[in-house]
Amino acid sequence: MTTFEKNSIKENGGRLKAQTLVTYIAQEFNVEYTIFNVYRLLHQLGFSWITSRSRHPKQLEKIQENFKKFEMEIILTIPLNIRLKNVDVWFQDEARFGQQNTTTRLWAEKGTRPRAVKQQQFEYAYLFGAVCPATGDTEALMAPFMNMDVMDKHLALISKKVPEGRHAVIVVDGAAWHQPHLV
């Protein structure tokens, strides 16, 4: 990774601006460029002004690399009496859908700020979904809340979807309702 790339993508966010490059070039190389010429140089060097892909601040590349290797680890945990051609890999996740109202906009006399009633309740529904890319099979469950009981019901639905004589490996994230808790 070049110095330019390191400076353009910062761990805590932000971006490298053309004016920063104008200053850097002047200090480092004692050459004066306009912002227009900096843009022209960037294009000639193969850079373009694009929208970045967002990344969660706690995202770790090591965890992503381990996830990419999960297939071999999963295969090694399958009992030897089960043939791999009889195993389907499913991917499961869930999402919350709902409404959270905002304060309405209205016309008012300048210098005033009238009060308006805002709905304080939030209505949500949770959708649990799973897919087996190899077969195209899907399974979903809608619920008013998320917990281990709902997850168990979703797993039971997935289990019913798996044909007799086949086995399923279900990949889930680390959500609390995916974890067995001892009482």
Encode pLDDT of 40-49 as tens digits: 888 888 877 7
Closest CA to 172 of 90, 75, 88: 90
Instruction: Please state, in angstroms and rounded to a whole number, the distance separating the CA atoms of residues 124 and 135.
Output: 31
> What's this model's pTM, rounded to 2 decimal places?
0.52
pLDDT at 167 over 80: yes
Task: Report the SS3 class of residue 75.
Answer: helix
pLDDT of 6 > 70? The answer is no
Most confident of 105-109, 149-153, 179-183: 149-153
pLDDT > 90 fraction of the chain, expressed in percent and rounded: 26
Number of Cβ within 10 Å of residue 76's Cβ equals 7
Give the SS3 label for residue 140.
Answer: strand
Which residues have a Cβ under 8 Å from the Cβ of 93 and sit 6 or more positions away? 128, 129, 130, 172, 173
Tokens of 87: 């195993």
pLDDT for 56-80, tens place per residue?
Answer: 667 777 877 776 676 666 667 777 7
Provide the pLDDT confidence category of residue 142 given band limits of 50, 70 and 90.
very high
The Cα–Cα gap between 145 and 96 comes to: 9
Contacts of 150 (CB under 8 A, 6+ apart): 126, 128, 141, 143, 177
- The pLDDT assigned to 183 comes to 47
Mean per-residue pLDDT over the chain, rounded: 78
